[in-house]
Structure 1
């Protein structure tokens, strides 16, 4: 849906119009951060964050948005680091968990991401963490927050499968002049990296960037469907967790009368939310946080057939340090007792994260389908698209190509 169409704004942004018309907007909010008086982020049907232009952009703002928008282009450079065709640049790979039992239980996996954030704050490495947390006004929604102590990090822990734009909160934090740890989706961090070339404050103040493996952002309609399957009246909802409070944890709705309803991760994400993921996420080259200093993920146990098992257990995080900054942070956090990790063999990652494998191997076929229809598509450099596509084989590539053609022609949703 083109969120700009209803707005009679002179000198409308060609970049925003192009991305919205192609439906490749990630909803990251980078454009609104670059042009706060001209662009705002708004929820548009069926429940995705999209930019709405409310004033003309200056030529400088138009150029800046064009340079940083992840819905247009992403370019990844290894910069001398070891690089894996599937899993990107890396300096160190570990698996483990937070040593704080409450953080480990409350987080989505082993609590390592939360443990690292608490370490950064308590060690004085940063003054504030920019991250996301549950919305107060809309319990299934997400808001950007600035955390300065352990309890705030704890309250924000756990995956939020809903649209978010933490870059907008980063803009406020940059104005304070404080040292920042930024936590965002892979596309948020990618946008931030590209934005750093235009705004020197980012390299000066953002001490470290952290991300996580992301399978895509569902619309708000997905959360409403989960509530409907639970039999929950949204007007009676007091709080909502998508997962966490265990591993993988349950989607849990807490009502105003104190009662709860819950649904398994397999049913909530696998059965409902994953079907509401936005188009840009289906064309994403980087669900694995390649632009971040540190990235965390679920180190799922696998069953006898080699596929992830979602049986409840004590959480374990996969941790990839992608830069020396990330590796140093992880080492210092472990030395101070904030996290406990062990070496991880990258060959074990493929059966743990089959969804990420499929997405990276199928991407080129999907992009080629769009171009075959003369539809505009994002450009991605440095992601080994062809090499990954060859690993998928011609049958899978043909299936993905034809499936994308059918969806683009509107023959299937």
Structure 2
């Protein structure tokens, strides 16, 4: 964890050229691309076999999840149907309420402990060699960038795909720094040195940010305030030029299927509802099997309705080509993106808006360079 509250790799020795080449080939910070034979891709939403809305049928799972609990319900279904030995997913640290750690879930109780969003730095791939060395089959739940990295890694060895048959992801607006979490706790009026637990949301939809101190005091803040006015101001720059906030490389991606109000998502508390995007044949089969087993309920969703539920993601995909071009112009380098539909997406917005967005990125980079 660096001084700004982001997780960063530590260089232990000078890297050889071959090591650098391997990092650049696998890391989504350097390269993100679909293969030429991927499932037919929507320019905004990536590979799509079928789009739906849905929810977990178990009331506790639905309530504890950040939306309709479908990711948690799928994880529990995979465990109880013996399709995997465990699920690798992020949960709150058992030693530090503000930290995230990789949890290996073997039961429904484990999955429920990890339910709910964790809007802070996490590194779920750091133990991947150890997990693969176990020889056990497992499902992986991670941010879109985590899944993109793991998918590329799986392509280097077909045996890995057999060991990790399912990759699950969620729609992500970016990773806030730990400093963002500190600001939320400060706004709540809680003492972060005395916390017994902290959750960003969940236990309802969208649920409250909730800090519980060791003396029993409880502090809460609604989602619109915690995310909308604090956390989203602390996103790392790479997230702002991300072409894949929607988990395009997963087998199944889930998200908040927000109800609309005046053209914007309505964050009023109600029973949770997930968006469920199956992106591969394996993912579609999993969703169908979970429905047949009674783990989740679903309804078809027209692709044109996705942008109404996730307008931020639609706008970001339309603008990201301009942002990454501005980054390359300002810094001399930028991540390389291929087969992500960025040119087609950029044509969905007016040229003036696109240029203004790109120009804003360029100016922000230059201001940042002047202050460092």
Q: Shorter-chain TM-score: which interval? A: over 0.9
Q: 1:272-307 deviations in whole A, cap 9, x for unaligned?
A: 00010001100100000000000000100001x121
Name the counterpart of 2:265. 308
The yes-or-no answer on 1:117 pairing with 2:75 is yes
Aligned partners of 1:202 and 1:80: how far apart in 2? 19
Distance in 2, matches of 1:78 and 1:334, equals: 31
The C-alpha deviation readout for 1:158-198, integer Å capped at 9, x for no partner, is 00000111112333221110001000000000000111133
Match of 2:42 among 76, 84, 95: 84
Matched with 2:104 is 146
Equivalent position of 1:55 in the other structure: 13
What is the aligned partner in structure 2 of residue 181 from structure 1? 139
Alpha carbons of structure 1 residues 158 and 374: separation in structure 2 relative to 1, 3 Å: closer
Superposed, 1:231-242 pairs within 5 Å as 231-242=189-200
State the Cα distance separating 1:379 from its structure 2 match: 0.8
Q: How far apart, CA to CA, are the structure 1 residues paired with 2:226 and 2:10?
A: 31
Q: SS at the partner of 2:265?
A: coil
Shift of 1:215: 0.3
Q: CA deviation at 1:79?
A: 2.5
**Residues 1:255 and 2:213 aligned together:** yes
Cα shift readout 1:349-392 (whole Å, capped 9, x = no counterpart): 11111110111111111122123335211110011212211212
What does 1:224-373 correspond to in 2, within 5 Å?
224-303=182-261, 305-373=262-330
Q: Partners in 2 of 1:321 and 1:95 — Cα distance? A: 11
Distance apart, 1:244 and its partner CA? 0.3
Within 2, Cα distance between the matches of 1:191 and 1:223?
A: 26
**Residues matched between the structures, number:** 370
Which residue in 2 is equivalent to 1:45? Answer: 3
Contact 1:130 1:170 in 2 (8 A): no
TM-score (norm 2): 0.96
Distance of 1:60 and 1:372 partners within structure 2: 27
- How far does the alpha carbon of each residue in 1:59-106 deviate from its partner, in whole angstroms, 9 at most, with x for none? 543332121011111111362523211111111111110011000000
CA contact 2:42–2:341 (8 Å) conserved in 1: no
Aligned: 1:71 with 2:40: no
RMSD: 1.5
Change (3 A) 1:135 1:80: closer
Of residues 89, 92, 100, the one that matches 1:134 is: 92
Residues 55, 373 of structure 1: CA spacing in aligned structure 2 closer, same or farther, 3 A cutoff? Answer: closer
- Structure possessing the higher relative contact order (Cα contacts under 8 Å, 6 or more residues apart): 2
Cα deviation 1:47-69 (Å, max 9, x = unaligned): 11111111244554333212101
How far apart in 2 are the matches of 1:309 and 1:77?
37
In structure 2, C-alpha distance between the alignment counterparts of 1:228 and 1:328, rounded to whole Å: 45
Q: Secondary structure at the match of 1:333?
A: helix
How many angstroms apart in 2 are the aligned matches of 1:129 and 1:378?
A: 30
- Tell me if the contact between 2:102 and 2:124 (Cα under 8 Å) persists in the aligned partners: yes
CA distance in 1, matches of 2:73, 2:324: 38
Unaligned ranges ≥5, structure 2: none
1: distance between equivalents of 2:268 and 2:364?
Answer: 34
**How far does residue 237 in structure 1 lie from its aligned partner after superposition?**
0.8
Within the alignment, does 1:403 sit opposite 2:335 as a pair?
A: no
**1:10-67 deviations in whole A, cap 9, x for unaligned?**
xxxxxxxxxxxxxxxxxxxxxxxxxxxxxxxxx1121111111112445543332121
Aligned partner of 1:156 among 110, 114, 137: 114
User: What's the TM-score once normalised by structure 1's chain length?
Assistant: 0.87
